[in-house]
């Protein structure tokens, strides 16, 4: 899919709705702008799983993964509910 948008005087560009929905981009999500030989590439920033959570330092990696998966599912469920309410 190719879409075009214009850059505003402030340097802002709108991500087309179809792409926001396809890549589950919500207000507040971060994107990464990368300069490549082919041009600019934009990617959704993904967090490293289990990092930055408020769990004790001695929590096993397995437990951190379990907690991260549960939180990710809660976020997906909340986004699905919000999308259905629209």
Token pair listed for 67: 């907690």
Four-way CATH pick for 1-46: 3.40.250.10, 2.40.30.10, 2.10.260.10, 3.20.20.70: 2.10.260.10
Phi and psi at 73, nearest 5°, equal -65, -40
State which H helix or E strand residue 44 sits in. Answer: strand 39-44
Per-residue confidence (pLDDT) for residue 79, from 0 to 100: 86
Per-residue confidence (pLDDT) for residue 8, from 0 to 100: 97
Per-residue confidence (pLDDT) for residue 53, from 0 to 100: 59
**28-78: pLDDT as tens digits:** 889 989 999 999 999 888 765 545 557 777 778 888 888 888 888 998 888
Domain boundaries, the chain: 1-46, 47-86
Q: Is the pTM of this model over 0.75?
A: no
């Amino acid at each position: 899919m190719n879409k075009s948008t214009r850059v505003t005087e402030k340097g802002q560009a709108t991500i087309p709705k179809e792409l926001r929905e396809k890549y589950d981009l919500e207000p507040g999500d971060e994107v990464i702008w990368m300069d490549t030989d082919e041009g600019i590439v934009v990617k959704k920033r993904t967090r490293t799983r289990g990092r930055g959570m408020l769990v004790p330092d001695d929590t096993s990696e397995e437990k951190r993964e379990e907690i991260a998966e549960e939180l990710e599912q809660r976020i997906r469920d909340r986004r699905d509910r919000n999308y259905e309410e629209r």
